[in-house]
Amino acid sequence: MSEGVTIALSKGKLLPPTLALFRQAGYSAYHVQDNDRRLILEYPEHGHRVLIVRPSDVPVYVEYGAADLGIVGKDVLLEQSPDVYEPVDLRLGICKLVVAKPNGQVPMQRLSSKLRVATKYPNVTERFFTQQGMPVELIKLYGSIELAPLVGLADRIVDLVETGKTLKANNLVEEEVIAWSSARLIVNRASLKMKHATITEVISRIKEQVTKGQSEKRPKKGRQR
């Protein structure tokens, strides 16, 4: 059996496709029941231990070495800028980080006073508006961000958009795209040296599946008959 590695997976929307990807990559035992409350899952047949972690905590576990590897959205990495190695874009959980506003509200440059922006991503938001030369007042929230402009708490929000249904349902419209996001495999820098063989094997198996998935999605070349 190979040396043990600990992998922190993001719970929530990313968990089912992440587990499916690991199974396709040959880690067949990767299963979690819907009502499973365990936070540590042991897969001795693969030499893996899996931690089920809040997405925003995954970089912390990996940076501090409590996990050797992790799966987390690029949105979280942009916000936290952890000192980790980021070798694979899993092309799962694709979404965008946007500035959004109530439908019909004036564009940003025509507002005279400082904009109030509600977000779960204060660092990304501050960087974006600073680059625009536009000082803003940040309001940090932890969820249901779309509510803030509806009740006068904020003029704008910065949040993730996947299908666009939440914006539409709350009569909000996208104003600017700040960045695209997808799930990334991240690695603790010291672990990569200390557990090199096992970690490079995980990386290459996952990369292979991602490449396979991409080529299956691409339209076949050749003449149509």
Interacting residues toward ligand PRP by CB under 6 A = 143-146, 159-166
Question: Looking at beta carbons only, is 83 or 162 nearer to ligand PRP?
Answer: 162
Instruction: Give least dist CB 81 to ligand PRP, A.
Output: 20
Q: Report the residue number, 101 or 195, with the smaller CB distance to ligand PRP.
A: 101
Question: Residue 14 Cβ, how far from ligand PRP at the closest point, in Å?
Answer: 10
CB of 163 to ligand PRP, least distance (A): 3
Residue nearest to ligand PRP (CB): 143
Give the nearer residue to ligand PRP in terms of CB position, either 26 or 102: 102
DSSP string, the chain: -PPPEEEEEE-STTHHHHHHHHHHTT-TT----TT---SEEEETTTTEEEEEE-GGGHHHHHHTTSSSEEEEEHHHHHHH--S-EEEEE---S-EEEEEEEETTPPPGGG--SPEEEEES-HHHHHHHHHHTT--EEEEE-SS-TTHHHHTTS-SEEEEEESSSHHHHHTTEEEEEEEEEE-EEEEE-HHHHHHTHHHHHHHHHHHHHHHHHHHHHHSPPPS---
Given the complex with ligand PRP, which of 4 and 122 has the nearer CB atom? 122
Provide, rounded to whole angstroms, the least separation between the CB of residue 114 and ligand PRP: 24
Least separation in angstroms between residue 8's CB and ligand PRP is: 18
Min dist CB 75 to ligand PRP, Å, is 9
Is 68 or 75 the residue whose CB approaches ligand PRP more closely? 75
Tokens 């968990």, located at residue: 15
Closer of 113 and 163 to ligand PRP (Cβ): 163
